[in-house]
Amino acid sequence: MNFDFATIMFIAVLVTGIIWFIDSRLWAPKRNTEIARLEASSASEEKLEEARKEPLLVEYSKSFFPVILIVLLLRSFLVEPFRIPSGSMIPTLLVGDFILVNKFSYGVRLPVINQKILDIGAPSRGDVAVFRYPKDPSVDYIKRIIGLPGDKIEYRNKVLYINGKRMNQKEVAPYVSGDSGLPIPGVTIFSENLEGVEHAMLHESGKPILNGEMLVPDGHYFVMGDNRDNSNDSRFWGTVPEENLVGKAFMVWMNWNFDEGGVEWKRIGSVIE
């Protein structure tokens, strides 16, 4: 069984809460009785202090329970941080970006079991979304939502068609590497319009052209990376079930590429579009 962070935190809340409850119902009354007996017998202050002292496990549980509970609630229902480990969403997201994800954009779900309890909204075309990889739900992926339920998606000669309509692309500029500051040969930034949602993406000349079409099933979404020629997405493994959606990415709060060993300060606080 795979234990993710939410599961570990839920178990921690459960264990510390049970210890606190048992102490309040069983152990604390016994301590209070012993304290009252010592006070009646005029025992030394040293003995009274020893009697008043809570067991270390109880002390830690009472200290950590509210903190872990608050973090679990915030992370499960409001905002969750993620780190971008790959370049599949370049130029929108870079390797080393730490992002924030709105957890209630697509409905409120119970932690651990991921059961939706409140339907607030649905994904829109063009959203940058985090989801659990359908082939291995223990792994989180991030891509752009291209196709909604019922859409016919076609990808021909590196051009996207949705329900027979061509999504306009416009060449912007050569892609410049953040490491060297030099253009990468054959890699170009394009602007694509997804029925009113404009975003940047990359094309790399010389890469094999993957042509194909798909009808998006009900309750599923077709996703693609903005680094179109270097993304493992719905073109290869299919659509994302609605229950696998985690939330909508909305901001980069930090960028730290461990391999490069530096912080990209200008990306901090940038809005994800």
Residues of the chain scoring pLDDT < 50: 1-3
DSSP H or E run through 14: helix 5-22
Tell me if residue 143 is catalytic. yes
Select 79-267's CATH number: 3.60.20.10, 2.60.120.700, 2.40.70.10, 2.10.109.10: 2.10.109.10
Residue entry with tokens 């229902």:
77
Give the per-residue pLDDT at 167. Answer: 97
Q: Provide the 10 A C-beta neighbour count for residue 69.
A: 16
Give the per-residue pLDDT at 135. Answer: 95
- pTM of the full predicted structure? 0.81
Tokens of 52: 């008043």
Give the per-residue pLDDT at 179. Answer: 64
3-state secondary structure of 53: coil
The single residue of 61, 76, 103, 143 carrying the catalytic annotation is 143
Give the per-residue pLDDT at 258. Answer: 64
Task: Tell me the per-residue pLDDT of 210-227, one tens digit each, with 9 for 90 and over.
Answer: 899 999 999 999 999 999
> What's the rounded Cα separation, in Å, for the pair 182 and 95?
17
Tokens of 160: 């996207």
CA-nearest of 60, 74, 59, 58 to 9 is 74
